[in-house]
Structure formats: structure tokens, C-alpha cells
Amino acid sequence: MSLAPALQSLPALSHSTPLSRAVDYMRISVTDRCNERCLYCLPEQFQAWTPREDILTYEEILAIVEVAVERGFKHFRVTGGEPLVRRDLPYFLKKLIETPGVETVQLSTNGTRLPEMAGDLYEAGLRRLNISLDALDPARYREITRGDVWPVLAGIRIAKALGFTSIKLNTVLIRHKNENEIWPLVEFAASLQIPIRFIELMPVSLTEMLTEENFLPVGEVMAMLADRDKLIPQDAKLGHGPAKYYRLKKTGALVGFIGALTNLHFCESCNKVRLTADGNLRPCLGNHGEFDLKRALRPALDKEGLRASLNQALAEKPPEHAFRNNWQPQRIMTAIGG
Ligand code: SAM
């Protein structure tokens, strides 16, 4: 299992321009559990879940957030696993949103539970959603995720009607699986006036489909879209992530591209760290280093210890990911937090 051969011909990531990385964005995984089994993410028979007692409580996460805010963090994304499968998530979101110094809170979800939960999320104060959607066709969607697309589509419409101010769609690109879905997804996003981002497959799981044959570079997708419509580059940054955006002239769609592997400048502006569900701070998805925060939380809160670990993680944030170097994941994406 490797994407490496497909990438051998690419030059190294570039640091020709200086790193401009004020790290102020934390992705918080609240669970490693998920109710879907995406081909590129979770092996179907996967059972090695983190024991529940090892997963941080909401209070422990909030203690970390307080210290992160002191250190200049402003933007937080709640993710997983699938965050909507964790009990009382709206309670946690409300607390997080109300934490002084927290400027934006976003939620990444597969959307399957949005129909029943969107109202509670909105009431908790959440206004920003990123929703994974790899296909519109129900059979294709099921093939990729092993789930049903209809609750996701219903959830997107409900969220839109409720008035969430930022809704974005995320599509992971898989050659031979969802190439034919790309244009329908663009039109769907345009019809709802919500941005859609296409994400290159990353070698962050243990599934067999992470091969060079399945890798579809964002450049190819841009060329595919350019055959149908004119791509107008957008200067404005949308949110706090690494996507580059284009407006499609005729459809009006706003399309983002996340080329973690083929964009040679990808890491230069990386502004984030990840907090795993079991309390490790990971400064880079594509490097194995993690800093254990739980020992500063249990048996009792040690704020100085948290500050020291956070400072160390930031000081040791690698300049770039190592996905090109025949990368072998040690922890899968759901355990780290997407
Ligand atoms: N369950 C939530 C969701 O579906 O958005 C949050 C967690 S999920 C791991 C976060 C994002 O990571 C999703 O957009 C997912 O498609 C993406 N992802 C997972 N495995 C990936 C891989 N191997 N390559 C690229 N993106 C991946």
C-alpha cells in the first residue's frame, strides 16, 4: 500500500519562499469512531477503537483549548472519526463557542446525522459546517462510503435552510471511482451556492486502495473542469484551510483544490495542529511526532504542563509533511482526526 511511486517524479516540496506560519488553528478529534467506512479511510473490518476511558472528556478538551487560546489559537475545527456519533456534541460545541478568545468553530461531518441534529447544532451556536460528499449517485456513494447518500443530501438542504453561514462540501478524489461524479457535484454545489473542495488522496490510512492507480491529482481535475467552464482564480481565502479557490464562470460554482501531494508549496502556510481523541497533540498529519497532553490532564489538571507540551509541539512542528518518502501511517486518519 503506497502512493509513493506516483509521486517519485515530483520535485521536493519547495521552501523557496519563507514559511509564513502563524499557527492559530486546532483540529480537535472528539472520537475515533465513525458510522461510515470510506474506502480510503477505514478498513471495513476495523475494530481497533480507542478504549472509551482513553478518550478525552469534553472538560479535558476545553482545558486544552483555554491554554491554546493563551498561546494565540483562534480557530477550532471539531472532527473525528464522525463527531456526530459522540454523545452530547451540541453541549460541547456550545461551551467551545463560548470560550473567551475562540473566534471560529467549524464542524467536519459526513452529514449522515444532520437531518436529526442540524437544529441542535444551530441552537448551540454553530454556524460553520464542512460536509464530506464523495458522490451524488446513491450506488457510487455506497460503494465509496458503505452508507446512504440521501440523509447527507437532506442534511445539506436542512442546514442551508436553517441559516448556517458557511457550508462547504469536501470530495476526496479517487480515480475510477468518482471521476464521473465531479461535474454533477460541481453543479449540485453551484445550485445551492455552496463551495466544494476536491481533495487529493493522502496515504493516511491502512486501506489497500491507497495506491498510485487510484490517485487523481487536483491538476487533472482542474483541467477536466476547464474543458467545460472557465476557472477564474480567487484571491480571497475562504476559512482557515489550505484550499486554493476558483470561480467557474458559467456555473458560478466556487471550487477549491487541496493538493496535499502535488502542490509543492502546500506546507508553507500550514497554520494548524491536531488534537487526537486520546489527547495527543500532533503538529503535522504527515509526520509521526505527537505530544502527550493527557499526562498534564490526569490525574489532575496541570496547566503549566499543558503550556509546556503545547510550546514544544509548536517549536517542533516539521517544515513539511513526509508523504512522499514512502510514508507508512502508524495511526489511521480517524484516530488522528481529519
Ligand atoms: N467524519 C468526518 C467527515 O466525514 O468529514 C470528519 C473526519 S474525516 C477523517 C475528515 C476528512 O478527511 C474527510 O473529508 C475525509 O474525506 C478526509 N479523508 C479521510 N481519509 C482520507 C485520505 N486517505 N485522503 C484524503 N482525505 C481523507
> What confidence score (pLDDT) does residue 125 get?
98
> What confidence score (pLDDT) does residue 18 get?
46
Assess contact for 173 and 199: CB atoms under 8 A: yes
Assess contact for 183 and 151: CB atoms under 8 A: no
Index of the ligand 1 atom closest to the CA of residue 201 = 24
Q: In whole angstroms, how far apart are CA 172 and each of 40, 61, 144, 214?
A: 9, 28, 10, 11
Give the separation between CA 126 and CA 29, rounded to whole angstroms: 16
Pick from 273, 288, 293: nearest CA to 56? 293
276 lines ligand 1 (CB under 6 A): no
132 lines ligand 1 (CB under 6 A): yes
Distance of CA 299 from the midpoint of ligand 1 (Å): 32
> What confidence score (pLDDT) does residue 243 get?
85
Assess contact for 247 and 189: CB atoms under 8 A: no
Q: How far is CA 145 from the centre of its chain?
A: 16
- For 231, list phi and psi in degrees, rounded to 5: -95, 120
336 lines ligand 1 (CB under 6 A): no
> What confidence score (pLDDT) does residue 6 get?
54
- For 15, list phi and psi in degrees, rounded to 5: -115, 30
Index of the ligand 1 atom closest to the CA of residue 130 = 5
145 lines ligand 1 (CB under 6 A): no
Pocket test for ligand 1, best of 40, 85, 86 (most atoms within 8 A of CB): 40
Assess contact for 133 and 159: CB atoms under 8 A: no
Q: Mean pLDDT in runs of 10 for the chain (338 residues)?
A: 54 50 92 94 86 97 98 96 97 98 98 98 98 98 97 98 97 96 98 97 82 92 97 81 90 94 83 94 87 96 96 89 74 71
Q: Whose CA is nearest to atom 20 of ligand 1?
A: 41
Distance of CA 6 from the midpoint of ligand 1 (Å): 21
Index of the ligand 1 atom closest to the CA of residue 79 = 6
Burial of 236 (0-12, 13-18, 19+ CB in 10 A): exposed
Return the amino acid letter for 85. Answer: V
Burial of 184-213, coded b for 16+ CB within 10 Å and e otherwise, reads ebbbbbbeeebbbbbbbbbbbbbbebbbee
pTM of the predicted model as reported, rounded to 2 decimal places:
0.93
> What confidence score (pLDDT) does residue 13 get?
53
199 lines ligand 1 (CB under 6 A): yes
Give the separation between CA 284 and CA 269, rounded to whole angstroms: 12
Q: Which three cell numbers stand for residue 22?
A: 502563524
Sign of CA dihedral 122, 124, 127, 130: negative
